[in-house]
């Protein structure tokens, strides 16, 4: 495939058992360092979850090498062209899960919701008794979501079990789950099935793949991503903006972290208010634990982590 930009941003995940996953993580970090690619990869006994950024050649080499391993041969990559690197460091870490959920005994590799292509999703959501459920956190769906979707008031994906009483009302309906790249709804749909839901689907590849293969139709706003781009466009068919500046209410999709290191809330703030409020979400945050605001609202942490903005 030919690319018009010098860099690529690649997101992927794969639920597949990895033996000696901690050893795999160490070796995989050394491989990425040799390749010179940047990003964040989580390795767990249950699989891989990664977001990468590099030159076209680096990203193509990484994807080719990964799928040459039989365990990852069917990995689905979501690829965006970029004019700059979306990461500045490479981290490969072993964690208990590839997306933190705390959902014990849930194995999406064994049982999960039925996958829907973009076209299948468009058709099914038109039918009666069908509901669409956003499985992302508040800060994610605040800046963009599917028209008519049910959103959950959760700060982290691990809060999903606290919403099961609310979701129980949907058990007699056809439920379509979705998230950014598919990883959360893969596990969430499996969790729903384990809790008595019978007709559960998931949008294959999430919002990012839908944007590429379906034109992003009926997705309102922008999609939050876990790299330096922060948000990306989705809808080229019928786009609308759904988020607004926390201070002045001006329509905006400019997502930043609060300048207060102890607060660090992810908020929508227009550029003008960013400078007026010095990157703070409140008056109190302008004066406490304040970092230097440079107009981006994107802060580096200590040397062992790449950014404050992180996946929950």
Shared-domain flag, residues 156 and 198? yes
Average pLDDT over residues 283-310: 71
Catalytic residue among 59, 179, 270, 281: 179
H or E segment at 167?
A: helix 164-167
Q: Which of 94, 126, 149 is the last residue of a domain?
A: 94
Shared-domain flag, residues 191 and 257? no
Q: Tell me if residue 179 is catalytic.
A: yes
Number of domains in the chain: 3
Give the other-Cβ count within 10 Å of 145's Cβ: 22
Question: Measured on CA atoms in the order 27, 37, 211, 188, is the torsion positive or negative?
Answer: positive
What pLDDT band is residue 280 in, cutting at 50, 70 and 90? Answer: very high
pLDDT of residue 302: 38
pLDDT at 310 over 50: no
pLDDT tens readout for residues 214-265: 899 999 999 999 998 899 999 999 999 999 999 999 999 999 999 999 999 9
pLDDT of residue 22: 98
Shared-domain flag, residues 250 and 290? yes
Q: What angle do CA 129, 133, 136 make, to 5 degrees?
A: 180
Q: Which of 36, 61, 94 is the last residue of a domain?
A: 94
For the chain, what is the mean pLDDT? 93
Q: In CATH, what number is assigned to the domain containing residue 75?
A: 3.30.70.100
Helix, strand, coil percentages (3-state) for the chain, rounded to 5, are 30, 25, 50
- Assess if residue 149 is contained within a domain: yes
Domain extent at residue 27? 7-94
pLDDT of residue 166: 93
pLDDT of residue 301: 56
Left (φ > 0), alpha (ψ -120 to 50) or beta: where does 263 sit?
alpha
Q: Which of 167, 190, 224 is the last residue of a domain?
A: 224
Average pLDDT over residues 195-220: 95
Average pLDDT over residues 110-119: 96
Question: Exposed/middle/buried for 213, CB within 10 Å: 0-12, 13-18, 19+?
Answer: middle
Q: In CATH, what number is assigned to the domain containing residue 157?
A: 3.40.250.10
pTM: 0.88
Which residues are CB-neighbours of 26 under 8 A, at least 6 positions away? 92
């Amino acid at each position: 495939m030919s690319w018009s930009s010098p860099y690529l941003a690649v997101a992927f995940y794969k639920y597949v058992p990895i033996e000696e996953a901690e050893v795999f993580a160490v070796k995989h970090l050394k491989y990425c360092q040799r390749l010179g690619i940047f990003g964040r990869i989580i390795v767990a006994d249950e699989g891989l979850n990664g977001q990468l950024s590099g030159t076209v050649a680096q990203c193509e080499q990484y994807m080719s090498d990964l799928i040459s391993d039989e365990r990852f041969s069917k990995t689905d990559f979501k690829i965006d062209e970029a004019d700059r690197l979306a990461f500045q460091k490479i981290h490969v870490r072993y964690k208990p899960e590839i997306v933190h959920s705390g959902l014990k005994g849930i194995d999406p590799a064994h049982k999960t919701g039925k996958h829907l292509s973009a076209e299948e999703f468009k058709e099914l959501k038109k039918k009666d008794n069908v509901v669409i459920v956003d499985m992302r956190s508040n800060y994610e769906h605040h800046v963009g979501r599917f028209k008519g979707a049910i959103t959950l008031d959760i700060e982290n994906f691990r809060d999903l079990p606290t919403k099961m009483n609310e979701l129980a009302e949907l058990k007699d309906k056809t439920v379509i789950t979705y998230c950014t790249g598919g990883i959360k709804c893969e596990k969430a749909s499996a969790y729903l099935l384990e809790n008595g839901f019978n007709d559960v689907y998931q949008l294959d590849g999430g919002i990012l793949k839908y944007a590429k293969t379906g034109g992003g139709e009926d997705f309102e706003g922008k999609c939050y991503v876990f790299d330096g781009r922060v948000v990306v466009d989705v809808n080229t068919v019928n786009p609308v903006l759904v988020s607004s500046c926390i201070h002045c209410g001006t329509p905006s999709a400019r997502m930043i972290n609060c300048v207060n290191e102890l607060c660090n809330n992810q908020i929508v703030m227009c550029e003008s208010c960013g400078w007026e409020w010095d990157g703070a979400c409140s008056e109190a945050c302008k004066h406490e634990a304040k970092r230097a605001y440079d107009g981006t609202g994107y802060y580096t942490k200590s040397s062992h982590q790449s950014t404050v903005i992180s996946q929950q």
